[in-house]
């Protein structure tokens, strides 16, 4: 959704309406509490508190509420950013978008004759892209990690 040329505002707003309906069905309200933190900081805080290990005792509703809160936050971040990322990561997004577009075209036009060896070069490009991360984070030319939004896009 984020990599599209025209940001689909209506699609995200429709998605948010569905999230509100789920929130009502669960009998909760205002899953996002007012905070002096930015949306990204709230999202990171929620991620830091996740512990879904086998030893933790979560009730099903707690898991759903946690996930609902994160998804709601993420949709707010998407609307705020309108699909735009920092210029310093635009080249990475362009490269990934180009690979995706090429693979989609291959899938549509040559799916019946596509072989595993035909995909090898794309797999290597994606591997190199993945290996460029530092501690799991994409970094710019100066070694500064991307914000959460750019990481997720």
Are both 102 and 63 inside the same structural domain?
no
Q: Which of 43-47, 52-56, 133-137 has the highest mean pLDDT?
A: 133-137
Answer whether residue 54 shows pLDDT above 80: no
At 53, the pLDDT band (50, 70, 90 cuts) reads low
Q: Which of 81, 102, 124 is the last residue of a domain?
A: 81
Q: Which residues pair with 145 in a beta bridge?
A: 139
Coil, helix or strand for 145?
Answer: strand
Instruction: Give the integer Cα–Cα distance in Å for 45 and 26.
Output: 23
Burial (CB < 10 A; 0-12, 13-18, 19+), residue 40, is middle
The continuous run of DSSP H or E covering 20 comes out as: helix 9-25
Instruction: Give the integer Cα–Cα distance in Å for 113 and 127.
Output: 24
Q: Which of 48, 81, 114 is the last residue of a domain?
A: 81
**Higher model confidence: residue 141 or residue 6?**
141
DSSP assignments along 57-120, one per residue: ---HHHHHHHHHHHHHHHHHHHHHHTT---GGGHHHHHHHHHHHHHHHHHHHHHTTT--GGGGH
At 65, the pLDDT band (50, 70, 90 cuts) reads confident
Q: Left (φ > 0), alpha (ψ -120 to 50) or beta: where does 6 sit?
A: beta
Answer whether residue 45 shows pLDDT above 90: no
Residue 85 token pair: 């990322």
Predicted TM-score (pTM) of the model is 0.65
Are both 58 and 103 inside the same structural domain?
no
At 16, the pLDDT band (50, 70, 90 cuts) reads very high
Q: Which of 57, 81, 105 is the last residue of a domain?
A: 81
State pLDDT tens for residues 100-126. 998 888 877 766 677 777 788 889 999
Mean pLDDT computed over 40-46: 82
Whole-number pLDDT of residue 43: 83
Answer whether residue 94 shows pLDDT above 60: yes
């Amino acid at each position: 959704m984020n990599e599209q040329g025209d940001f689909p505002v209506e699609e995200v707003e429709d998605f948010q309406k569905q999230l509100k309906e789920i929130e009502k069905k669960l009998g909760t309200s205002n899953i996002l509490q007012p905070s002096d933190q930015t949306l990204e900081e709230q999202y990171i805080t929620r991620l830091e508190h996740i512990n879904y290990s086998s030893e933790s005792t979560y009730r099903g509703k707690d898991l759903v509420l946690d996930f609902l809160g994160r998804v709601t936050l993420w949709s707010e971040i998407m609307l705020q950013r309108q699909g735009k990322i920092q210029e310093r990561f635009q080249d990475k997004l362009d490269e990934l978008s180009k690979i995706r577009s090429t693979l989609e075209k291959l899938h549509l036009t040559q799916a019946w004759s596509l072989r595993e060896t035909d995909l090898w070069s794309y797999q290597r490009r994606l591997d190199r892209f993945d290996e460029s991360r530092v501690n799991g984070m994409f970094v710019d030319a100066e070694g500064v990690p991307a914000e959460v939004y750019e990481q997720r896009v």
